């Protein structure tokens, strides 16, 4: 494959990583909302950073 075609292929592949996935974004938003609600309500057990860091 000529170098210019390789460059176009690589550029296209890299650009495809930058395209947002709206379905995936919606799934993450739902998960984040659940976690924040659990944290605010006290239902989520938290671990201090120092405790997490030691493991």
- The H or E element spanning position 13 is helix 3-17
* Max CA pair span of the chain: 60
Instruction: Specify the pTM.
Output: 0.55
The C-alpha torsion from 4 through 5 and 11 to 12, rounded to 10°, is 160
Q: How far is CA 44 from the centre of its chain?
A: 21
Give the whole-number percent of the chain exceeding pLDDT 90. 51
- Please give the mean pLDDT across all residues of the chain: 88
Question: How far is Cα 24 from Cα 17, in angstroms, rounded to an integer?
Answer: 13
The sign one gets for the Cα dihedral 43, 45, 49, 55 is: negative
């Amino acid at each position: 494959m000529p170098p210019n075609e390789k460059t176009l292929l690589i550029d296209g592949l890299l650009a495809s990583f930058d395209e947002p996935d709206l379905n995936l974004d919606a799934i993450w938003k739902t998960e984040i909302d659940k976690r924040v609600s659990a944290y605010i309500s006290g239902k989520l057990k938290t671990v201090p950073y120092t405790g997490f860091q030691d493991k």
